[in-house]
Amino acid sequence: MDASRPDLPTSSTVDKSAPARGGRRLDDLRFTNSFVNELPADPDERVVSRQVLGAAYSRVQPTPTSAPSLLSVSTDMLDELGLDHAVADTEQFTRVVTGNELLPGSDPYAMAYGGHQFGNWAGQLGDGRAIALGEIETDAGERWTLQLKGAGRTPYSRGADGLAVLRSSVREYLCSEAMHALGVPTTRALSLALTGDKVVRDMFYDGRPEAELGAVVCRVAPSFLRFGNYQLPASRGELDLLRALLDHTIERHEPDLTPATPDDSAAAYTALFARVSDRTADLMVEWMRVGFVHGVMNTDNLSILGLTIDYGPYGWLEDFDPSWTPNTTDAQHRRYRFGQQPQIAHWNLAQLGAALLPLIGDVEPLQAALDSFVDRYQAGYQQMMAAKLGLPSFDPATDDALIEGVVAVLQSAETDMTIFYRRLADVDLDAEGDQRFTPLLDAYYQPEQLTDDVRAGIDAWLDALAERLASLGDTAPSAADRRAAMNAVNPKYVLRNYLAQLAIDAAEAGDASKIAELLDTLRHPYDEQPAMEHLAAKRPDWARTRPGCSMLSCSS
């Protein structure tokens, strides 16, 4: 072990904290650690930036922090892990989720992977500021990997410090749990904690770095495998490692694909790729449904399980603009803009397919899976959009035009996407004039843009929607049923950037109450929650250009 990274205490060498009342204690967690047990490790234990060859991971311990303190914990995630809520009140919990103590059975590591960044091959990347504590198995038989983001330097840190600051950690923590509540596949977050240390970051990349509060998020997922895990060994010709990774993935996540003989491996790998393609298509449908923009869809940031992973400079589409990206690094070319996310996912899948080709040997089944992505995404998008409009199913004879029409309506004036769809459920399509239009007024940022021509276009589209519903005859849903159905897919509450920034500002001043308020509200994004109406309001004008509220950098 590197002398600069002392061994951390384990639970057997420290005093036990208060026992839990009901579920399991931390010391009761059962580590299975299939990733480190089944795949080759980096034999070099030096924690210095370097190329790691022939290995899936490097063992590395988190860096101890000076004065860890817990800011927030997700009780939903405690329940998923089978932990008693009282565990979060213990000093031991805070030590563990900040990397200051290792639980029995924990075998920390950082994964090796590569990736395409903004369309260009970047070579080895890896977990530069994330350290997995290990994989646990719950009483329900579920397996979860616990990972600390911001826990210190690894061989993949590329000269950086491996740490994270509070502002980015708040955003990751809240968005992970908010996306789960929205029904969008995602990695999860167990906790958010301060380290007690300062971290120097140049937030605007303008040569004026500042010392910020250090923080750690404990992330949780069935696996953090991403496209880049397979790309890296393929790029180096390390086909035995690539095969081992694929076999592990199938055994761990797709056991029904386990080949009967080695000769069946290529077919199993092809089937795995097809499932990754399907999941990725489904994920893109969900992102488009709720107006989420990832901001940095590099191949190392796409999960093979179809989860939203790595919450960096993400954003929520507030005023509807398909060309918008929240990433300052992408401001010129807008590669990762909202409207192009499905196409980028398809491109990324093609890169993954190219990595697998040496072990599959035939491009045709890979191409078939890529073609299937297009069909699956299109069908999913059409059905999703029909549901957002309150239609029981998609009819290509009429609904392609309706969908094109609503996209045009959203762009005819500066319109808040979330509020528009939510209020659309309240529109009386049988009414006329202002009576019909009034529920939509709150969705517009600049009402003066609602000229007679714009209003006429919106009215014409509402007429078409009313006609489509009327064509259903006796099978048409009642107004109440349609409203309930729409409100189940059109959220009222999303993690708007300005809300996250207000929570960050308060937390940096020592007040974590806004984090708690947002976490609690975003657990029920489709409910009305009358006391939380202020969290459903459109972006205030002061946030239009403020850093953190409009565009963000990758700095953490």
Residues carrying an active site annotation:
300
For the chain, how long is the longest CA-to-CA vector?
A: 76
CB hemisphere CA count around 78 (13 angstroms): 20
CB atoms within 10 A of CB 364: 9
> For residue 200, what is the DSSP state?
E
421 neighbors 490 (Cβ within 8 angstroms): yes
Q: Which two tokens stand for residue 196?
A: 């007690």
45 neighbors 1 (Cβ within 8 angstroms): yes
Q: From CA 287, how far away is CA 309, in angstroms rounded?
A: 12
Measuring CA to CA, which residue among 517, 525, 533 is closest to residue 181? 525
If you search the block for the tokens 């004065």, which residue do you land on? 67
- Encoded amino acid at 56, one letter: A
378 neighbors 384 (Cβ within 8 angstroms): no
Measured CA to CA in angstroms, residue 256 lies from 361, 372, 423 at distances of: 22, 21, 44
Q: From CA 275, how far away is CA 422, in angstroms rounded?
A: 33
For 210-255, give the secondary structure using H, E and C: EEEEEEEEEEEECCCCEHHHHHHHHHHCCHHHHHHHHHHHHHHHCH
φ/ψ of residue 73, rounded to 5? -135, 145
In this structure, the strands spanning 69-73 and 188-201 are antiparallel
